[in-house]
Amino acid sequence: MIPKTIQTWQMTEPGKLLRTEIPVPELQAGEVLVEVRGCGVCHTDLSYFYMGVPTIQKPPLTLGHEIAGVVVAGDPRLLGKEVIVPAVLPCNDCEICRMGRPNRCLKQKMPGNSMGIYGGFASHIPVPGHDLCVVGERGKLPLEHLAVVADAVTTPYHAARRAELAAGDLVVVIGAAGGVGSFMTQVAKGMGARAVIGIDINEEKLAFMRGYGADFTINPKGKSAKEVKELIKGYCKEQGLPANFGWKIFEVTGSKPGQELALALLSFVGKLIVVGYGSDETSYMLSKLMAFDAEIIGTWGCPPQSYPQVLEMCVDGRIALEPFVETRPMSQIAEVFDQAHHGKLSRRVVLTPDF
């Protein structure tokens, strides 16, 4: 059913939310209207809301970029389809897109940031239909849970692709128990990593990850980088693994301590993949890269064409969603934002419209 208006929670300015309604726009060529069934709360939303990180579309606008829903208007071929809206929508026509790097398209559109006033914390959202991920068979997975695929799961998957992660690889995930890190850990194991070492300062969540991809865990709180290395060496010795070469390190926290530890662990023919964002500067002697023949790689989002592979990993169980996701009514958005901002959530929250 096509609504007359879109119900939405708008950020009128950083730190302020207002429930309001806006007109349903006239759909442009190639656009569809998606009825939102769930929108995940991401750290990026919090950075816009609490920290004043500027959005491309100035407030008022609707935040939210982890979206799953149903197409209710537009392209007849998509009508009635359950879909995941990619968090990064490329133009598909620029040189960067033609280079095979559409996730970093400079003309990209991002719900809740650069798609006008539209985002996922709403009843509906108009989006380009071309790159939507049609869900199809999803087994027992609730559609709203699949909202987190749009960022929390696909971002780690693309990071793994950037690392050229393959069966038998050795992996370290720093921030392994966080909202994105927990999926990074699962993705690495699901893609065939021989060993995954999970590092995190949340002891309870870290222990939980031993059942979801982490073969060995380390809490670095109060430990020097040297002490962490010694723990890794001990594990490697027990398992018959190389301790000082070939490891692929995923830094997911974006924190200065996390980045410094990742750099300290980088060694011969290894790779460091920077997944998390932080504003602190970190120093490193670049000549070590030459001596180690190592690499540091940045990664941003995920190309829409990779979404079906990620969805398949969720449906077949290589990536578990249910233990890491919970749903709450969208009317609780202010409370959820506050809890997420203060680190009081144990799972990634998906808000479901209850206008």
* pLDDT tens track for 69-107: 999 999 999 999 999 999 999 999 999 999 999 999 999
In angstroms, the CA 125 to CA 102 distance is 22
Q: How many domains does the chain have?
A: 2
330 token code pair = 């969208």
Same domain, 175 and 248: yes
AA letter at 307? Y
- How far is CA 203 from its chain centroid? 22
- A 10 A CB-CB count for 354 gives 11
CATH at residue 184? 3.40.50.720
Q: Answer yes or no: are the C-beta atoms of 149 and 311 closer than 8 Å.
A: yes
12 token code pair = 């009128």
Question: What pLDDT, on a 0 to 100 scale, did the predictor assign at position 341?
Answer: 95
Q: What is the pLDDT of residues 24-74, one digit of tens each?
A: 999 999 999 999 999 999 999 999 999 989 999 999 999 999 999 999 999
Same domain, 146 and 50: yes
CATH at residue 320? 3.90.180.10
Same domain, 119 and 186: no
- What is the signed CA dihedral for 105, 28, 148, 43, rounded to 10 degrees? 60
Which parts of the chain have pLDDT scores under 70?
none
Same domain, 73 and 92: yes
Question: What pLDDT, on a 0 to 100 scale, did the predictor assign at position 1?
Answer: 73
Same domain, 231 and 278: yes
Same domain, 129 and 10: yes
Question: What pLDDT, on a 0 to 100 scale, did the predictor assign at position 145?
Answer: 98
In angstroms, the CA 307 to CA 298 distance is 20
**Domain's final residue, options 298, 315, 336:** 298
**Domain's final residue, options 252, 279, 298:** 298
Same domain, 117 and 217: no
Query: What does each C-alpha distance from 177 to 98, 147, 157, 172 come to in angstroms?
Result: 35, 19, 16, 12
Same domain, 172 and 60: no
Same domain, 291 and 311: no
Same domain, 268 and 312: no
Residue-range definition of the domain harbouring residue 269: 154-298
Same domain, 176 and 220: yes
The mean pLDDT of the chain is 96
Give the count of alpha carbons within 13 A of 172, CB side only.
37
- How far is CA 68 from its chain centroid? 14
Same domain, 196 and 249: yes
